[in-house]
Every structure is written in C-alpha cells, then in structure tokens.
Amino acid sequence: MCLECLCCPGLAISATRIHLMHEYALGVDPMDNKIIRFNNCIQCVACVCHVVGIFIKEARHLARLVDLFAHLVFLCTAGCMAGQIHREKSFQIQKEALLPPECQGDEANQAYLSQPVDDHSIMAAPQCDQSYPPTKHPPEYSAPSAPAPVGYCPGPVQPGQQPPPPPPPPPPPATH
C-alpha cells in the first residue's frame, strides 16, 4: 500500500475516497466530479503540450508552464480529497463512539452507522433508506425541485398530453 501511495498518489487517494463513499453509502457530490474532471482535463492539456513541444522547440516553455499549472491543480485536488477523507473518517468514528460499548464494531450496527445525517455534508449522503452493505450504487444528486415560474411552458405538448393550464390572471391593483 505504501508503494501504491508513493508511485500512484492520485489513484491511491481516489480509490480511498471511492472506498469510503461505498463503505458509508455516501452519494456523489456533483461539484467534486467537476473538480476532478477539470484536473483530468488540465493533465491531458499538459500531455498534449509536451507532445507538441517535441516537434516545435518554441512550445517547450509553454509545455512547462502548463505542466506546472497541472501539478498545482492536482495537488489542490488531492489535498481536498485527503481533507474529505480525514473529516469523514473522524465523523464516522465520533458517530460510532456514541453507541453503547457492547455495540461498537458490531456488524448489526453498520446500518445505523451508514445512515445519512442532516448536519453532515462533507460527502453528500443519499436521500433514500439503504441497507448495509449497499445493494446498489448511491443515487445521483438532483437539485431540489422548485415550482415553475408563472407562465413557464416546458416545451411542446406531446401527442396524447393535455396542454398546461393557462397562468392565473395577475392580481388586481391595490387601491388606497
């Protein structure tokens, strides 16, 4: 494991994060995915710049600058992942410490330990009840639904559907 962390730190920390999310039935945070995608994109850009630098000597300085930026993005991303992992583990240890001593570490209490807690948002928790171990992947995050604005039409009416009701009339002007 030490060799893995030394030779492939990005893969090691990503695998640890995914394992932790699976272990505690935590959902995927879409912002985390965006940061990880950005990191991957910058790494690819750095690779392309180095390949271009092989053929065009003047592009080598640009390749080094992009490579430096890619390293900084990677270190920031890995630091965020390490912080999430540390805080999540600390939270789960505190949560387990609240159990009576005879129940700590018991497999029967894993369902309790994997339940989401409202005031905990380091790694997004699923919004549905799941047994432990999870039998399926956690649901994707979805934004809370809000009522449609007055007069909003979601698009053309499909055959067999009723058109949406007309918007209510505006309230009468107030008289003073």
What confidence tens digit (pLDDT) does each residue in 108-159 have?
555 555 555 544 545 554 444 444 445 555 555 454 555 555 544 455 556 6
Q: Considering the entire predicted model, what is its pTM? A: 0.58
91: CB partners within 8 A, 6+ apart: 120, 122
Q: What span, in angstroms and rounded, lies between the C-alpha atoms of 84 and 163? A: 47
pLDDT in tens, 14-60: 999 999 988 888 888 899 999 999 999 999 999 999 999 999 999 99
